[in-house]
Homo-oligomer: A and B are copies of this chain.
Amino acid sequence: MKRIAIAIHGGASQDSDFIRQNKTGYEEGLKAAVQAGYAVLQKGGSAIDAVERAVNCLEDNPLFNAGRGSALNNQGKVEMDAAIMDGENLKAGAVAMVKSVKNPISLAKKVLEKTSHVLLCGYGALKLAKEAGIVLEEDQYFITGHQLDEFKQANLEETGDILLKKQVHGTVGAVALDEYGNIAAATSTGGTPNSLPGRVGDSCMIGAGCYADNRTCAISATGDGEYIITGVIANTISLYTELTGKNLQEACDYVIKERNKDTPGDMGVISINKNGEIGITFNCERMHRAWIDTNGNMEARIYK
């Protein structure tokens, strides 16, 4: 039997009415995405193609805050970030502050494949999207009723002071192991309702919200992005396994729950290594997550 496995997440934070009301829809969306990524692996596809496929499903699902269903910033605009990394060769691609792009993770993969850069931002990312034939959509495609309501409510209630202090949530991601022993990670986000314009978070930052190295592990993080950046969470988990020899679950638990126990932010991570071991940790009420392990068993969970 081929040793393949995949894990995905759909964000981590405290619970909400919207999450409780849509529990079934979220569970179905998680299962569909993890199965779509797993199908790529079953057909002999690469880990990087599998994480792209799983994230595409979450980006296309309006329940998740990435691609369609992205949050609106305080200008009423969608600005999305994404990153992807290949553990075989440490190549990475990322995009920040992009609009119009249906699947930001697929544009991040084009940055990896077609340029020597890692991160393209704003109009430069959009220029590559057009040259590479990436699917674009009108602004209205991205905006769901739920996010429009959130924006209108927040825009009424939140003062400039609140905006300057606001923490930012909402991300999807995937990690996978393919039959060739390679691992990959992908992370994609639409940001948060009513954020400052131009804010770029951890999702597109290699080492923070996304990292992959065959020698250690592949990781996608989610939660309060600013603390994931300053904690350099993904690289810290990877290097912790490298330098201490701890296993992946221990490393995730240590970095999120011990090393950052005084960090006042929500954080969650999914991770995988070349043996197909999966590590998942979060410090808040819910992390939307699903995985299919090396025995082919699928799980999808929202709460602890």
Query: A: which residues have CB within 8 A of B?
Result: 85, 90-92, 96-97, 114-125, 127-128, 164-168, 195-201, 205-208, 211, 225-226, 229-232, 235-236, 239-240, 243-244
Q: Are B229 and A118 in contact (CB under 8 A)?
A: yes
Contacts of A127 in B (CB 8 A): 197-198
Contacts of A201 in B (CB 8 A): 118-119
Q: Are A96 and B207 in contact (CB under 8 A)?
A: no
Contacts of A243 in B (CB 8 A): 239-240, 243-244
Copy number in this complex? 2
Contacts of A205 in B (CB 8 A): 205-208
Q: Are B196 and A211 in contact (CB under 8 A)?
A: no
A interface secondary structure, majority: mixed
Given known pairs A116-B166, A243-B243, the reply for A124 and B196 (CB within 8 Å) is: yes
| Distance to closest chain B CB from A133 (angstroms) | 15
**17 contacts across the A-B interface (CB closer than 8 A):** A90-B230, A91-B230, A115-B165, A115-B196, A116-B166, A117-B226, A119-B199, A119-B201, A119-B229, A128-B196, A205-B206, A206-B229, A206-B230, A207-B208, A211-B232, A236-B239, A243-B243
| Of B197, B225, B240, the contact of A239 (CB 8 Å cutoff) | B240
